[in-house]
Amino acid sequence: MRSTWGHLRLGIALAAGKWAGVLSRWLRRGDGTSMPGLVARRIDPHVLTRLVADSGVPVIVVTGSNGKTTTGRMLTALLRAEGLDAQSNASGANLVQGVTTLAVEAADLRGRLSADVLVAEVDEGTLRQVVPELAPRVVLTLDLFRDQLDRFGELHAVSDALEASVRALSPDAVWISNADDPLLAYLAPERTERRVTFGLELDRSTDRITSAADSIRCPRCGTDLVYDRVYLSHLGAYACPACGLHRPSLDVAVTALELVGIAETRLTVRLPASELVLRIPQAGVHVAYDVAAALAVMVGLGIAPEHAAVALAEVRPAFGRLEVAQAGNRRIVLGFVKNPTSYNTTLHALASSDEPKQLLIAASNTPVDGEDFAWLWDVDFGVAAGLLERVTVSGTRADELANRLKYAGVDLRSLAVVTDRRRALDLALAGIPPGGQLTILAGYTPMLELRALMYERGWVGRLREA
């Protein structure tokens, strides 16, 4: 039994957290995605465990470098389509405060959770802290890219954190993992039961190994891996010629894939007991991975995704994932970029048409976005450099972006450096003719800031609409 004081403390923590969320949204201090968790944890540091682990509501943890938010949205849609009340931290607030906010907002003031299941997107760096507090029923590991290296030191430090989380799972929990990622495939090799794999099984490669690709060496013996297919960066069908490590067999496989412009992906997915033909209203090979991952979770939960086609057809791009907004008679395309892979994916999509482009690119040093932007030098800006008519760089590291673009061959006469986000947005838009398009590429914090400015002007909806 919990003490009276424990109850009271939890109640105060929840009330204060919920109020903080209302206030922060009202005052437009952020989007209220972290404040409730932050405040509630100050009052009751164990609030997350009390709400989640003690309630018995199953938690699904979604983690990895890329695709957490999109996959979380797809999974939530799949669960809801099967009649479950699924709640998620869908806006990408995936540090400890954001995850706590999810639980605080899903609970009533007595600490009872109304949801059937919680989908928690968790940052890789927060796993070690959050997983023990959540005691998840399912952990989904999406991929490992060179994401914010300075926060973790090395890629291997992140894989160690993932492995520790998998090893800490209770025996009846399920681990869902991307078999196409060599670094994930060799994690916790002793765990062969209650493990579901997903990946792509196409008749052609959709990418090639470039310098931006990570971990193309065997995680067991260090020999260069040989790829039969390369699908996205270092994801693919691989084998080690020296020690024999190879891609595990797939429980959930994308067997056909067609990208239609920047707006649609058509794919066929093989599940253990069925085959699905799907149309997703966003484009990219990464979308295929996100779909496969979300479906693999359903397989792991033992829930037949009978309404998958309808549910997934409604999942539009998440926050800043090539989201399209209308600014009067001008179009704005928002691209959330946080590492070489997400940059390169977006730049390649941009370079697929050869009309001149106008860009606003923003990067800022923040605890979320990281201090070190060295990885900007691994981004293939060269593919688009010749197509850039005008570029405005912004954020607290506008200086770094400008210098990087200079060395990528962007003409300095077409480059404007405007640190302030509001002035940068105004300047960038002023150069767009009616009917024209501005593409924004920004890291997490500057994207939130730019999106807030666009919300003020009625160009985009609220962030927490998911």
Give the residue with the Cβ less far from another protein, 336 or 381.
Answer: 381
Instruction: List the one residue from 255, 268, 365, 437 that touches another protein (CB under 8 A).
Output: 365
d(CA 230, CA 204): 8
Do the Cβ atoms of 231 and 207 come closer than 8 Å?
yes
Count of residues near another protein by CB under 8 A: 39
Q: Which amino acid is at 279?
A: R
d(CA 147, CA 28): 29
Is the alpha carbon torsion for 283, 286, 288, 294 positive or negative?
negative
Q: Is 48 left (phi over 0), alpha (psi -120 to 50) or beta?
A: alpha
d(CA 347, CA 388): 11
- Our finding on whether 28 is near another protein (CB under 8 A) is no
- Part of the chain binding another protein (CB under 8 A), chosen from 7-15, 237-245, 397-405, 432-440: 397-405
Q: Exposed e or buried b for every residue in 28-60, given b needs 16+ CB within 10 A? A: eebbbbbbbbbbbbebbeebbebbbbebebbbb
Q: At what angle do helices 96-106 and 127-134 cross, to 10 degrees?
A: 20
State the DSSP code for 376. Answer: G
- Part of the chain binding another protein (CB under 8 A), chosen from 84-92, 114-122, 189-197, 404-412: 404-412
Give the residue with the Cβ less far from another protein, 38 or 115.
Answer: 38
Neighbouring C-beta atoms of residue 416, cutoff 10 Å: 18
- Our finding on whether 68 is near another protein (CB under 8 A) is no
- Our finding on whether 419 is near another protein (CB under 8 A) is yes
Instruction: List the one residue from 125, 317, 320, 443 that touches another protein (CB under 8 A).
Output: 125
d(CA 99, CA 79): 19
Report the relative pairing of strands 195-200 and 174-178 from DSSP bridges.
parallel
**Could you give the C-alpha distances from 191 to 110, 131, 166, 198, 199, in angstroms and in order?**
38, 18, 9, 16, 19
- Part of the chain binding another protein (CB under 8 A), chosen from 78-86, 279-287, 350-358, 372-380: 372-380
Give the residue with the Cβ less far from another protein, 276 or 360.
Answer: 360
Cβ 425 to another protein shortest distance, Å: 14
Give the residue with the Cβ less far from another protein, 41 or 321.
Answer: 41
Residues 192-221 that bind another protein (CB under 8 A): 211, 217
Q: Which residues pair with 269 in a beta bridge?
A: 254, 276
Give the residue with the Cβ less far from another protein, 314 or 399.
Answer: 399
Report the relative pairing of strands 321-327 and 330-336 from DSSP bridges.
antiparallel
- Our finding on whether 162 is near another protein (CB under 8 A) is no
- Our finding on whether 129 is near another protein (CB under 8 A) is no
Give the residue with the Cβ less far from another protein, 4 or 211.
Answer: 211
- Part of the chain binding another protein (CB under 8 A), chosen from 26-34, 73-81, 329-337, 359-367: 359-367
Cβ 153 to another protein shortest distance, Å: 5
Neighbouring C-beta atoms of residue 358, cutoff 10 Å: 20
Give the residue with the Cβ less far from another protein, 327 or 402.
Answer: 402
Selection from 149, 81, 120, 97 nearest residue 312 by Cα: 81
Tokens coding 187 = 């994690």
Give the residue with the Cβ less far from another protein, 270 or 338.
Answer: 338
Q: Which amino acid is at 292?
A: A
Give the residue with the Cβ less far from another protein, 242 or 351.
Answer: 242
- Part of the chain binding another protein (CB under 8 A), chosen from 65-73, 149-157, 161-169, 261-269: 149-157
- What are the residue ranges of helices labelled H in 113-204? 127-134, 149-152, 155-167, 182-185
Instruction: List the one residue from 338, 400, 428, 446 that touches another protein (CB under 8 A).
Output: 400
Which residue bears the tokens 């002793």?
Answer: 190
- Our finding on whether 437 is near another protein (CB under 8 A) is no
Give the residue with the Cβ less far from another protein, 96 or 293.
Answer: 96
Backbone torsions φ then ψ of 377, nearest 5 degrees:
-80, -10
- Our finding on whether 426 is near another protein (CB under 8 A) is no
- Our finding on whether 284 is near another protein (CB under 8 A) is no
Instruction: List the one residue from 275, 314, 372, 426 that touches another protein (CB under 8 A).
Output: 372
- Our finding on whether 155 is near another protein (CB under 8 A) is yes
Which positions touch another protein (CB under 8 A)? 125, 146, 149-151, 153-156, 211, 217, 222, 365-367, 370-372, 374-378, 396-397, 399-400, 402-404, 406-407, 409, 411-412, 417, 419-420, 423
